[in-house]
Chain A
Amino acid sequence: MLISLKDLKREANFLLRQKRIFVLLLITLILTSFALYTGIIEANKQQQSITRLLQADAQEQEIVFNSKNDYGSIAYYNFHLTYLPPSQLAFAAMGNRDTHPWKHRIRMLALEGQIYESDIGHPELAATGHFDFAFVLSVLLPLILILLLHDLFANERAAGRYDLLTVTASSPLKIWVTRALVLTLSLFLTFILPFVVAAVFNQVAISQIILVGLICLAQIIVWAAICFGLAKTNAPAPRLASILLSIWLITAFVIPVVGDAVIEQQITSPNGGDILMVQREAVNDAWDLPPQTTFDAFTQTHPEWKNHTSMNKMFEWKWYYAFQQVGDQQAAELTKAYTEAAKLKYQAANWLSVLSPSIAVQRAMTRIANTDAIASANYQQQVRDFHAELRSFYYPLIFNQVEFDQQQLALLPQFSANSHK
């Protein structure tokens, strides 16, 4: 059974002349364009915000450099802006950028006390969720497809045309396949064409555009197969649509929600608050402990400073930063368990998304757009790495009690957002 271009043209001409189908496709096109347009605006806003922050950050740094004249104070007062810029594709899948922090200002103090600060959007709006291209693909697409395909047969049966078509057509199966093909293809185009325009405008890599196209195609094929398979049964159209909608409801809402409850139940994670508490107790207790106790713990991880721990004064910056480091070290185990738990939850959720095409698409899109939990975790790791860099910059200056020199500050590590692969 070969479907010729002529067949496709005939059915396209036939189907798209039906007002219902045309209107449905038009609305889809408008919604998709709206999602893309507001996504681009949002991504631009985030980019502009980063530009403004970088400017303000540089000014602040200038002020600190000019007003302090020892490394210890500069390390204490100088904040560094870290950020995860929206990827080229972020406009299409905002993911968790309104629930997870993507910018932090950090300094040389214990990192665990700083890294959980969160600067996020309006919680009511975040709770509603984004109307972005990823949402359009994962939730709207199946619904539109159900509306388009569920009565493929039922309508013809109800109108008494089914047998007529079967008997008339040179190959009966061909009509149905051609019709389904025309409907899914035009739906694919209404989704993907505006996306490609937006993606090209945003200079998204070709490979990513193709990947998104494949996700879109896969989602369409899965739902078209479900619709086509069920549509063949003898039930009337609304009954079929009810069944299809129930499948959609179960896969898009019920399975994820139940899965989430199970995952939360099964994967135990330390309380986030405990990390802060442990770190705070450690840092605060250190003030009352003999400095040597702190230095002992510190030199276990930094043996190179073993011979630089003697104190001439009651307060020295090296002691201060040493107990900040020790604070982090004491919380390290909890932090590890906390991030491990997050990772496990992510993996478990990945497994679960096999059962839910909508969730799978959402996760795939946010993965490509680098706006998912992995992106957040990677960003957090980047911040940790950068903080470690700061420490290795300042420790020699502070422990060796190097004479203060403004020139040195030019070598201060700068956060670069591009280390993401």
Chain B
Amino acid sequence: MKDSVISANNLSVAYANQLVLNKVNFSVAQGQIFALLGGNGAGKSTTLKTFLGTLKPQSGSANILGKPVHQHINTSRKQIAYLPESVMLYGHLTAIENIQYFLSLADIKQSVQQIEDALTQVSLQPQAWHNKLSQYSKGMRQKTAIALALLRQAPILFLDEPTSGLDPAAIDEFNQLMSQLAQAGSTIFMVTHDVYGACQVANKIGLLHQGELISLFNAEHNQSIDTETVHKAFVRGIRA
């Protein structure tokens, strides 16, 4: 547990006096891609929000680099980049302006060249870079947001349903990009209900059901986790 980058330690979260997360434990090491799977209302978003520091745990803790987030919000946040689900970045700004604006909020300086590199990396067509975001399609917006997450150069990435709304080709590109990042040393935490996508990219999967972590799957050396097994557990969990 000591060298884990992200860990949940008996994490319980209550929302409006109702326990939505009950004693959840897991840990993610550096360079790992962790996918938290679960149906609607299983507690995925709650877990994510607790790591972002926008929700406080009732007991236990969500830790980043070994420190409870709720006690070290600012230092924790410096370490993470966050990609919200279907985010609508500012429509009156171009992709580059959007990224520049968000980076300056985080006090991070990146040259235009670096921003363009990141946009290339997420394969956003260069002719769109200087268009206002209000003219973008959903996929293009998502790519811009991913570029922003990359440019934060944070060692830890939190992704909320990153592939929803993307076409299959874009999903493939995205998964490759995640693997590259993980190999380069980033730790990635994603929340999704897409079993197939999760198994393709993640080397650790947690299955959340009604606020409890009902199973954990680990990828064996360089092999992806078996989709069938996870799928069965997922469906059974829901039915149970």
Q: Which residues of A contact B (CB under 8 A)?
A: 10, 14, 17-19, 159-161, 163-171, 175
Interface residues of B in 33-82 (CB under 8 A from A): 49, 52-54, 74, 77-78, 80-82
Contact B105 A175 (CB under 8 A): yes
Q: How far is the CA of A269 from the CA of B139 in the complex (A)?
A: 74
**Which of A160, A166, A168 touches B88 (beta carbons < 8 Å)?**
A160
Q: How far is the CA of A253 from the CA of B12 in the complex (A)?
A: 49
Q: Which residues of chain B have C-beta atoms less than 8 A from A168's C-beta?
A: 77, 81-82, 102, 105-106, 152
Q: How far is the CA of A349 from the CA of B158 in the complex (A)?
A: 58
| B154 CB, nearest partner CB in chain A, Å | 10
Q: Which residue of B lies closest to A174 (CB)?
A: B105
Q: Taking the complex as formed, is B216 at the interface, i.e. its CB lies under 8 A from any CB of chain A? A: no
Q: Which residues of chain A have C-beta atoms less than 8 A from B106's C-beta?
A: 168-170
Question: Interface SS of chain A: helix, strand, loop or mixed?
Answer: helix
Q: Which residues of chain A have C-beta atoms less than 8 A from B78's C-beta?
A: 170
Sample of 8 A–B contacts (CB below 8 Å): A10-B105, A19-B92, A160-B84, A161-B88, A163-B82, A163-B84, A164-B145, A170-B78
Q: Which residues of B contact A (CB under 8 A)?
A: 49, 52-54, 74, 77-78, 80-82, 84-90, 92-93, 101-102, 104-107, 145, 152, 158
Q: Knowing A18-B92, A161-B87 touch, does A167 contact B82 (C-beta < 8 A)?
A: yes
Q: Which residues of chain A have C-beta atoms less than 8 A from B84's C-beta?
A: 160-161, 163-164
Contact B107 A167 (CB under 8 A): no
Q: How far is the CA of A171 from the CA of B104 in the complex (A)?
A: 12
Q: Which residues of chain A have C-beta atoms less than 8 A from B82's C-beta?
A: 163-164, 167-168
Contact B107 A170 (CB under 8 A): yes
Listed residue (B82, B86, B105) with the most chain A CB atoms within 10 angstroms of its CB: B105
Listed residue (B78, B104, B152) with the most chain A CB atoms within 10 angstroms of its CB: B104
Q: How far is the CA of A175 from the CA of B102 in the complex (A)?
A: 11
Q: Which residue of A lies closest to B48 (CB)?
A: A163
Q: Which residue of A lies closest to B89 (CB)?
A: A161
Contact B105 A165 (CB under 8 A): yes
| B102 CB, nearest partner CB in chain A, Å | 5
Q: How far is the CA of A175 from the CA of B104 in the complex (A)?
A: 11
Contact B101 A159 (CB under 8 A): no
Contact A163 B104 (CB under 8 A): no
Q: Which residues of chain A have C-beta atoms less than 8 A from B74's C-beta?
A: 170-171
Q: Which residue of A lies closest to B73 (CB)?
A: A172
Q: Which residues of chain A have C-beta atoms less than 8 A from B90's C-beta?
A: 14, 161
Contact B87 A164 (CB under 8 A): yes
Q: Knowing A14-B101, A168-B82, A175-B105 touch, does A163 contact B49 (C-beta < 8 A)?
A: yes
